Structure 1
Amino acid sequence: MDKRERIIQAAIEVFREHGIEKTKISDIVKKAQIAQGTFYLYFPSKLSVMPAIAEKMAARMEGAIRQSVDSQKEWTGQLREMIGAVFTVTGEYRDVSALVYAGLSATEHVREWEDIYRPLYMRVATIIEEWEREGGVRKTDPHRTARLLIGLAESAAEQVYLFDSFDPAEEQKQQEAVYEFVINALRM
C-alpha cells in the first residue's frame, strides 16, 4: 500500500474513532505510520482527505454494480441487483458516509462531488443505454437518469443505515420501494 493510500485508510479509521472535529492530523499520521510532513505532501488539511475517501466509496460502489449486475438478465433483474449493490456499499460505509458528507459540505470540496461520482454515473448510464436499446425502458437522458437513480438509491439506503436504528426488514422494504419507484418511472 502506498503512502497516500495509507493516509486515506488511517484517516477513515481515525475519523470513525474520533469524529471529524476531534481528529488531528497527528492522529492520522500516527495511525498511517508516516512523518507529519509526508501527510502534507498529499493533503493540505485533514478535510482535504474527504474527497479521496469519497472516491474510494464511489469506486467501491461502481465495482459492486459492475460485479452484481448480470447483463444476461432482463432490465428489471439488473435494476434490482444495482439497487442491492448500492445498499450493500452504503451499509458497508455507513459510519464513514456521514463523516464524508459532513466533511465535504464543510469545505470547498463539495464542488468535487460530481467529478468523484462521474465513473459511477457513467457505469450506470451505460447500463441504462443498453436497457433503452433493448426496448425495455422508455427513452431518457441516460446520464441524468443515472444520477437520479444513484441519488435515490443512495439516499434511501442512508435513511435505513444512517438515520434509523438498523432493521433488516426495513432495509428490504426500502430496497423494494426504490425498485418499484424506478420501475414505474422507466417502464414504457
Structure 2
Amino acid sequence: MSKGGITIEDKKERIVRAAIDVLCSKGLEKTKVSDIVKGAGIAQGTFYLYFPSKLAVMPSIAEVMVHKILDALHQSVNLNASIEVQLRSFIGTVFTLHQENREQLALLYAGLASSEYLKEWEAIYAPYYRWVTEMLNTAQSAGHIRDSLNTGRTARLVIGAIESAAEQVFLFDQADEGEIEAQAEEVYAFVAHALGIKVL
C-alpha cells in the first residue's frame, strides 16, 4: 500500500534507518523521537503509527542486524566445504561484523536490555538459529560431528559462544589484532571440541 509514491514499508524502513543513525550519534538517553523523525524526513505523528516510543524501534533494529548477519554468512560460508572450514568462516564473519558494527551492536544491547522488548529477541533470531541448525544437521548426517548433539539447542549455544567472544574483543576490550586472532582461534577450538570436530 502506498500514498504519494511512498509505501508503508518504505516509511517504516526510513524510521529504522534514521533511528540507527541518530541513536549511534547521540546515544540512547539523549535521543528524542523528534530527532529520529527529522532524520527520517517524516512527521512526528507518522512515527507513532509504527512505534509507541523510541525503545519500541529496538526489535526492528535487531531485525536489520540479523538480516545483515545472514546476508554475510550466505556470502562467506561455503556450505559444501568441510565443517572445519565452515566453522572458521562463520567465526571470521561474526568477528568482522562485530568490528564493523560495534556502535550499532552496543546500542542494540543497551536498548533491548533497558526495555520490555528483550523477550522478542528469540523470535528475531529464529532465522539465524535455523541457518546454524541446518549447517549442524548436514555435518551430523555426514558423521562429522557428534551424533548425540541436539542441533537446535547446540545452534543457540554455538551462536552465543561466538558472539560473546566477538563482543569481548570489540565492544569491551578494544583488543589489538593479535588478541583478536587469538580470541577467534580460541573460540574455534572451544566450539570444535564441543561439536566433536578434530581441531586441525
TM class by shorter chain equals: over 0.9
Q: What is the count of residue pairs matched by the alignment?
A: 188
- Give, in whole Å, the separation in 2 of the partners of 1:166 and 1:37: 43
1:172-187 aligned within 5 A: 172-187=181-196
| Contact 1:12-1:96 at 8 Å conserved across structures | yes
Provide Cα deviations, 1:130-177, integer angstroms capped at 9, x if missing partner.
000111000211111111111111111011111012422211111111
- Give, in whole Å, the separation in 2 of the partners of 1:118 and 1:63: 15
- Give, in whole Å, the separation in 2 of the partners of 1:90 and 1:144: 23
Name which one, 1 or 2, has greater alpha-carbon Rg: 2
Which among 136, 159, 166 is matched to residue 157 of structure 1?
Answer: 166
Aligned to 1:13: 21
Aligned to 1:117: 125
Identity of aligned residues (%): 53
1:1-188 aligned within 5 A: 2-139=10-147, 140-187=149-196
Report the TM-score, using the length of structure 1 for normalisation: 0.96
- Structure 2 unaligned segments of length 5 or more: list them: 1-8
Report the TM-score, using the length of structure 2 for normalisation: 0.91
Following superposition, the deviation at residue 72 of structure 1 comes to 2.3
Provide Cα deviations, 1:92-112, integer angstroms capped at 9, x if missing partner.
221111111111111110000
Secondary structure (helix, strand or coil) at the match of 1:161 reads helix
| Contact 1:86-1:150 at 8 Å conserved across structures | no
- Which residue type is aligned with residue 161 of structure 2? L
RMSD: 1.2
Structure 1 stretch 156-165 or stretch 57-66: which is displaced more?
A: 57-66
| Contact 1:152-1:178 at 8 Å conserved across structures | yes
Q: Which runs of 4+ in 1 moved over 6 A?
A: none
Structure 1 stretch 147-156 or stretch 87-96: which is displaced more?
A: 87-96
- Give, in whole Å, the separation in 2 of the partners of 1:129 and 1:152: 19
- Give, in whole Å, the separation in 1 of the partners of 2:189 and 2:165: 13
Secondary structure (helix, strand or coil) at the match of 1:2 reads helix
Structure 1 stretch 162-171 or stretch 110-119: which is displaced more?
A: 162-171
